């Protein structure tokens, strides 16, 4: 149940092309055993992520050959209240004009047949609807590490936001709309203290199987609350990586270097900021983020430059 429309199938050792064996030196081909209908899961970052199927409010891990319709992230044993953090950050992003999939918090007790994993004393998991699935069909997508042909370990240091913006503006179907949305997300990541917007957390999706579009947002988390000394973007933006130094000028530099008309970007940044300043303080009170994390997020808002500061009552 891989991301997008990719399907991995097994082959016999004697079916591997000779040229592949010859290009990697001495290689011994070993046949691995696969269990049909076995449940699979992957570990990414600090949380377990499961592709699951939902039926009548209960969730089961998608078996071999099945397509899951939700990604479920269980609580982390390393960092407290990550599901509450991500749910809150994603909701705040949505209020600021960010396109997100359906999300919700689900009781751990509603997840059936989980493998034996360590879980903290928390009751909720984060659920995000798979936007690369539609009525049982795969929709292809690729993250920007794939687009730029980078290995996962290069996701922080091998590219910048200018390169991503340029590709979105030059090659996607709704080029202007997509890059305006991209700019909004860059600003929201600053406002939400998300330092993990690396290459693999931006994707293109192919709804018609041919034309790339910017995918809905995902993996927006207030990472600052877990790393007290974190003050930086994941990638460079307009020759800057520091949240607290970021201004509109850096966005203008970013747009100009990416070949994007600044006049088409600035109003969307201003609208994003207006929505955040107007809606976020009240919304944060009502959202389920841990109270200590809320205080840290509000402190972050106060530390931003005058261009991006968000005022609160306390």
Of the residues 92, 110, 131, the one at which a domain ends: 131
Which one has a higher pLDDT value, 152 or 254? Answer: 254
Assess whether 163 and 245 both reside in one domain.
yes
C-alpha closest to that of 51 among 37, 35, 40, 38: 40
Domain assignment present for residue 234? The answer is yes
Domain assignment present for residue 21? The answer is no
Residues contacting residue 94 through CB under 8 Å, at least 6 positions apart: 100
Domain assignment present for residue 8? The answer is no
Domain assignment present for residue 11? The answer is no
pLDDT at 32 over 60: no
Predicted local confidence at residue 17, as pLDDT: 72
pLDDT at 26 over 70: no
Which tokens in the block code for residue 224?
């600052």
CB atoms within 10 A of CB 250: 23
Cα–Cα distance between 166 and 257 in angstroms, integer?
A: 8
Q: Tokens 């699935």 — which residue?
A: 133
Of the residues 101, 131, 161, the one at which a domain ends: 131
3-state helix, strand, coil in the chain (%, to 5): 40, 20, 45
Q: Tokens 């809606």 — which residue?
A: 279
Domain assignment present for residue 61? The answer is yes
Cα–Cα distance between 103 and 86 in angstroms, integer?
A: 10
Assess whether 165 and 269 both reside in one domain.
yes
Of the residues 72, 99, 131, the one at which a domain ends: 131
Structural domain boundaries, residue 90: 43-131
Assess whether 241 and 288 both reside in one domain.
yes
pLDDT tens-digit series, residues 129-161: 999 998 888 999 999 999 999 988 899 999 999
Q: Give the up-direction half-sphere exposure of residue 218: CA atoms within 13 A in the CB hemisphere.
A: 24
Confidence of residue 20 (pLDDT cuts 50, 70, 90): low
pLDDT tens-digit series, residues 49-108: 999 999 999 999 977 778 899 999 999 999 999 999 999 999 999 999 999 999 999 999
Domain assignment present for residue 101? The answer is yes
C-alpha closest to that of 5 among 182, 173, 165, 212: 212
Q: Is 67 within 8 Å of 136 (Cβ atoms)? A: yes
Assess whether 92 and 231 both reside in one domain.
no
Q: Total domain count for the chain?
A: 2
Active site residues: 196
| CATH for 169 | 1.10.1070.20
Residues contacting residue 106 through CB under 8 Å, at least 6 positions apart: 59, 72, 124, 125, 127
Q: Tokens 């499961």 — which residue?
A: 50
Cα–Cα distance between 97 and 87 in angstroms, integer?
A: 16
Domain assignment present for residue 120? The answer is yes
Domain assignment present for residue 147? The answer is yes
Assess whether 219 and 95 both reside in one domain.
no
């Amino acid at each position: 149940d891989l991301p997008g429309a990719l399907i991995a199938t097994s082959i016999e050792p004697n079916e591997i092309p000779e040229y592949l064996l010859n290009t990697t030196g001495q290689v011994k081909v070993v046949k691995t055993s696969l269990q049909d209908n076995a449940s699979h899961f992957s570990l990414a970052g600090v949380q377990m992520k499961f592709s699951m199927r939902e039926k009548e409010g209960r969730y089961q891990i998608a078996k071999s050959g099945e397509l899951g319709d939700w990604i479920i992230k269980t609580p982390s044993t390393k960092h407290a209240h990550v599901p509450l953090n991500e749910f809150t950050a994603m909701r705040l992003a949505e209020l600021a004009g960010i396109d997100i999939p359906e999300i919700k918090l689900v009781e751990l007790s509603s997840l059936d047949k989980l493998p034996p994993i360590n879980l903290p004393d928390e009751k909720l998991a984060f659920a995000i609807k798979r936007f690369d699935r539609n009525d049982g069909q795969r929709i292809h997508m690729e993250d920007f590490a794939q687009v730029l042909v980078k290995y996962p370990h290069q996701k922080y240091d091998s590219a910048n936001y200018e390169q991503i913006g340029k590709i979105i503006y030059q090659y996607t179907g709704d080029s202007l709309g997509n890059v305006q949305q991209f700019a909004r997300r860059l600003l929201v990541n600053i406002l939400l203290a998300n330092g993990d917007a690396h290459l693999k957390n931006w994707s293109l999706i192919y709804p018609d199987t041919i034309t790339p579009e910017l995918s809905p947002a995902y993996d927006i988390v207030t990472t600052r609350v877990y790393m007290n000394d974190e003050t930086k973007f994941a990638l460079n933006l307009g020759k800057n990586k520091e949240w607290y130094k970021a201004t509109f000028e850096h966005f203008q530099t970013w747009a100009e270097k990416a070949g994007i008309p600044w006049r088409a970007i600035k109003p969307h940044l201003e609208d994003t900021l207006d929505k955040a300043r107007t809606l976020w303080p009240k919304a944060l009170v009502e959202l389920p983020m841990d109270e200590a994390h809320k205080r840290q997020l509000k402190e972050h808002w106060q530390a931003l430059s005058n261009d991006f500061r968000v005022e609160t009552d306390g």
